[in-house]
């Protein structure tokens, strides 16, 4: 399975100035991130999403994020082949998944992004899907129901109103139910 670059991030000492600059130059559509730390750049056709904001350390930087299924496992791989973990896994707000970062052998900072796991509720819905199959079989059921109606005696409809209760018959003639 490949691991595409699926996010970019541009940061500097003044995030608002950067947002105005890239918005005016490239007409990028932006909206606030759920946590309010940056502006999210909506991807154009053939592009990837990104973010523009103020750098925590105040220094200008550009980073790319690579999509992975497990940030922890990939950080172990990075360490095993000569990279260094620069940022341990961090859960993003708003259920947006997890990020982490490493420095490659040349000193480049690279991010990892793990999408959010499917909620257990969705897994339950998928598990329930086989139960829906009997509905397809229910199309044959009307024929069975018609045969069952012919074989079973017809039930009398319940009276709309009950008649006033009569006095009980003497014990000798009363039938037990």
Query: What's this model's pTM, rounded to 2 decimal places?
Result: 0.62
* pLDDT at residue 117, as a whole number: 82
Helix (H, G, I), strand (E, B) or coil at 33: coil
**pLDDT at position 34, please?**
86
Q: Report how far residue 40's alpha carbon sits from residue 48's, in angstroms, rounded to the nearest whole number.
A: 11
Q: Where are the alpha helices (DSSP H) in the chain?
A: 15-26, 71-80, 120-128, 133-137, 141-151
State which residues of the chain have pLDDT below 70. Answer: 1, 118-177
Question: How confident is the model at residue 2, as a pLDDT?
Answer: 86
Reduced to 3 states (helix: H, G, I; strand: E, B; else coil), residue 12 is strand
To which H or E segment does residue 63 belong? strand 61-67
The pLDDT, as a whole number, for residue 4 is 92
Say what the pLDDT of residue 123 is: 42
Instruction: Collapse the DSSP code of 103 into the 3-class scheme (helix H, G, I; strand E, B; otherwise coil) and give the result.
Output: strand
Q: Cβ-count burial of 96 within 10 angstroms (0-12 exposed, 13-18 middle, 19+ buried)?
A: middle
Assign domain 5-114 to its CATH architecture.
Roll (3.10)
Q: Which residues pair with 38 in a beta bridge?
A: 53
Which pLDDT score, from 0 to 100, does residue 171 have?
A: 52
Counts of helices then strands in the chain (DSSP H, E): 5, 8
Query: In 3D, which of 39, 35, 47 has the Cα closest to residue 9?
Result: 39
């Amino acid at each position: 399975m490949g691991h595409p670059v699926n996010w970019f991030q541009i940061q500097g000492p003044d995030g608002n100035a950067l947002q105005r600059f890239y918005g005016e130059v490239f007409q990028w559509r932006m909206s606030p991130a759920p946590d309010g730390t940056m502006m999210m750049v909506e991807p154009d056709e053939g592009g990837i999403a990104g973010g523009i904001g103020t750098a925590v350390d105040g220094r200008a930087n550009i980073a790319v994020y690579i999509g992975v299924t497990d940030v922890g496992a990939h950080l172990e791989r990075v360490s095993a082949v000569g990279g260094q973990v620069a940022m341990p896994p961090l859960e993003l707000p708003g259920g947006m998944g997890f990020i982490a970062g490493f420095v490659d052998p040349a000193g480049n900072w690279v991010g990892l992004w793990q999408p959010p796991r499917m909620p257990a509720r969705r897994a339950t819905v998928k598990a329930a899907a086989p139960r829906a199959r009997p509905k397809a079989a229910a199309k044959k059921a009307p024929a069975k129901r018609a045969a069952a109606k012919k074989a079973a005696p017809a039930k009398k409809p319940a009276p709309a109103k009950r008649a006033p209760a009569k006095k009980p018959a003497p014990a000798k003639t009363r039938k037990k139910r």
